[in-house]
Every structure is written in structure tokens, then in C-alpha cells.
Amino acid sequence: MAKRKERIDRGIKVRSEDIFALLSWKEMLYLAFPRLIPIVGLLIAPLFLNIYWQRVLISVCVFSLLAISWDILAQSGMISLGQSLFFGIGAYISGVLNHYFHISPYITICLATLLGALLCTLLLLPVLRLRGIYFSMVTLVIPLMLVRIIEATKIFGGTEGLSGLDSFGSPWIEVYMIVVILLICLFGFRRMMDSDYGLVLRAINDDDRSVINAGINIYLFKSQALFISGAIGAFTGAFVTHVYMFVGMPVFALDYSILPIAAAVVGGPGNLAGATFGAFILVPLSELLRGIGGLRIVLYGIFLVVFIVALPEGIFHFIKRKYFQFERWVEV
């Protein structure tokens, strides 16, 4: 007798999609629980972590933000291979402002976020008309070019970089700053992508000509998405600069481009929470594997491949489905 799996939405999901008809505290908790985990977890986690794992947590949050930044672009139809462009530009702006003009880190970060986003948008504005792989190639090339420019002209410290930058003063400020910003970005931009504005962005990804056909200037929307994504990336770059008190050519490294993509793909692309979730798996995993030395990257690679093959939808979507649906076997 053939059997097939039947999936039924839990009643609570059906009712809560648009209208809120919550019948009990239990149902309220059922909806709030997935949102409370990251909020409460992230806010109390630093209290229980030693200084090393606090650093790891910072790194996790940094890559989460980069993954969010990547995913916003990807949801708007722009596959970027150059998150390190945003990251590096933000890092260098805040580094230069702090090193040459001695501006406080708190101000350099704000300036770097805005100026960095503006600069990234302007840099990529000419290629916004490119679609698919052509856009990706340009985003991949620009950071590589910037590295060579810095190397060749020896500006901003050249290959040495700028060191001895101001830090935030306390590791607690660092970790709580990035955690709070991550939570704000995660929930804020998730809300944005679910709004009608975000819907237009996602529609551009689906069919850009059809969006033009609604009398909408897609290049305006795309450049806005680019600005938002650039701002997140530039902020992370500026933040990391002041945590390490150093900025140099490694900020344009491929790690900052590829790891966020891996995080988004493992976690579940098309969903900011998925991207964050992916970073929370991959970065600590990479730290845990550090103990085994040379084969680390191989194991890491195998892990990635297994996950992408076994769960192409992403871990987050998988968990979400399990959470909101009953599954049972029925006879056909």
C-alpha cells in the first residue's frame, strides 16, 4: 500500500498569518517563542561566556549582519559576491577618520555607515542594470581592485594598514553593541521585507520587467536596497575595525564575501532569520574545528556540501515547517 506524507498547517498558523485571533496564553507563547529565543538568548548569552567565546559571539554577529546584508540584496534580485566591498569600505572609512582625524569610534561608526553605504551605492550604480551573474562578477571584482589600489599607491598605510586605532574601551560595550544592532537589523529589516515596500523588492527578483510594467522605477528601488545592504555591511566593517583596533587589506578578503553567502545558503536563503541562523551554525562550527588543524577546511567543506544537498531549502525553513505543520503518513 503506497503511502504519502501529508502536511497540515497548525490552526494557529492559519489564524495568525494575517489576523490575530489568539485564544489563549499558550497560543500567544507558541507564536512568541521563536522570536523570544534569539532576543533573550542573545541578550543573556554574553553573561555566561568567557572572553574567548565572547569574541566568537561578536564574530558570529558580524557574519550574521553580513549575511542579512547579502540576503536583502539577494531578495531584491542582486546576487552579490562582494560583501567584503561593503565591509572593507566601512572599515577603511572609520579607520581613516579615527587615525588621521582622531574622531571618537562612536562617531566614526555612524559616519562610516552612511558614507560607506553611499559610496557602495555610487560604485555599483553603473552596474545596476546588469542582471544575474554579470552583476555578481562586478561585485566580486571591485573589492579585489580596491586591495590592489591600496597596495600599489600605499594610501591609508598601504600593506601595513592602520593600527593602534581607538577601541570602545570595554568588551561588554562591544558585545552588547553588536548584539543589539543585530536584533534591531534582524527584526527591523524582516518587517521591511514583509511590508509592501519589501514586496516590491522581492517582485523585482521574480520578474523585473513586470515591475517596470507597474510604472515603478526599479533602479530607484534597487539602489535603495543597495544602500540599505551597504549600510549594514559598512557598519559591520567599521565596528570590527574598532574591535581589532586595526584596519588593513584583509578587510577586503574573500572570507567576508563567501562566508555570509554560505551562512545564508545553509540557514535558508530568502529569509533574514535563516541567514542569521546559518551564521550561528557556521561560525562557531569553524571555531570548534580549529582544534583539529589542517583538515579543518576539508571537514567544513564536507559539512557545507552535506547540508546543501540534504536540506536545499535551508535549515531555518525546515525547522519552521516542522514547527508550524503536522506531518503524518496517509494511505494513497
Partner 1 sequence: MVSKGTLLEVVDLCKSFGGIQAVNLISFTLQEGELLGIIGPNGSGKTTLINLITGFVKPTSGKIAYRGMNITGWPAYRIIRLGIARTFQMVRPFYHLPAYKNMIVPLYSPRVKRLKGGRYGDRDAIALDLLEEVGFERDSFVAYKVASALPQGYLKRLELAKAIALEPDLIILDELFSGLSLAEVASIVPIIEKLRQQGKTIIMIEHRLKELFRIVDRVIVLNFGMKIAEGLPSEIMDNEEVKRAYLGTEV
| Size, binding site for partner 1 by CB under 8 A | 20
Please say whether the beta carbons of 86 and 232 come within 8 A.
yes
Query: Which amino acid is located at 320 in the chain?
Result: K
Residue 331 near partner 1 by CB under 8 A: no
Minimal distance, residue 219 CB to partner 1, in Å: 9
- Closer by beta carbon to partner 1, 186 or else 204: 204
Helix axes 51-75, 83-101, angle to 10 degrees: 120
Q: Map residues 164-203 to x or -, x wherever contact with partner 1 holds by CB under 8 A.
A: --------------------------------xx-xx-xx
Residue 213 near partner 1 by CB under 8 A: yes
Q: Select from 265, 233, 275 the least CA-distant residue to 69.
A: 233
- Closer by beta carbon to partner 1, 163 or else 217: 217
Residue 207 near partner 1 by CB under 8 A: yes
CB within 8 Å of 144: residues ≥ 6 apart: 252
How distant is the alpha carbon of residue 141 from its chain centre?
Answer: 20
How distant is the alpha carbon of residue 296 from its chain centre?
Answer: 23
Angle at 19 between CA 17 and CA 221, to 5 degrees: 60
- Closer by beta carbon to partner 1, 190 or else 242: 190
Minimal distance, residue 192 CB to partner 1, in Å: 14
Please say whether the beta carbons of 213 and 105 come within 8 A.
no
Minimal distance, residue 14 CB to partner 1, in Å: 11
Out of 104, 159, 210, 325, name the contact with partner 1 by CB under 8 A.
210
Out of 42, 66, 67, 218, name the contact with partner 1 by CB under 8 A.
218
Query: Which amino acid is located at 128 in the chain?
Result: L
Residue 126 near partner 1 by CB under 8 A: no
**Would strands 162-163 and 246-247 be described as parallel, antiparallel, or unpaired?**
antiparallel
CA dist., res. 256 & res. 250, Å (int): 9
Residue 206 near partner 1 by CB under 8 A: yes
Minimal distance, residue 24 CB to partner 1, in Å: 26
235 DSSP β-pair partners: none
Size of the chain, expressed as the number of residues it contains: 332
Stretch that binds partner 1, among 43-51, 141-149, 204-212, 312-320 (CB under 8 A): 204-212
Residue 8 near partner 1 by CB under 8 A: no
Minimal distance, residue 132 CB to partner 1, in Å: 16
For residue 6, the SS3 value is: strand
Binding site for partner 1 (CB under 8 A): 18, 196-197, 199-200, 202-203, 205-207, 209-218
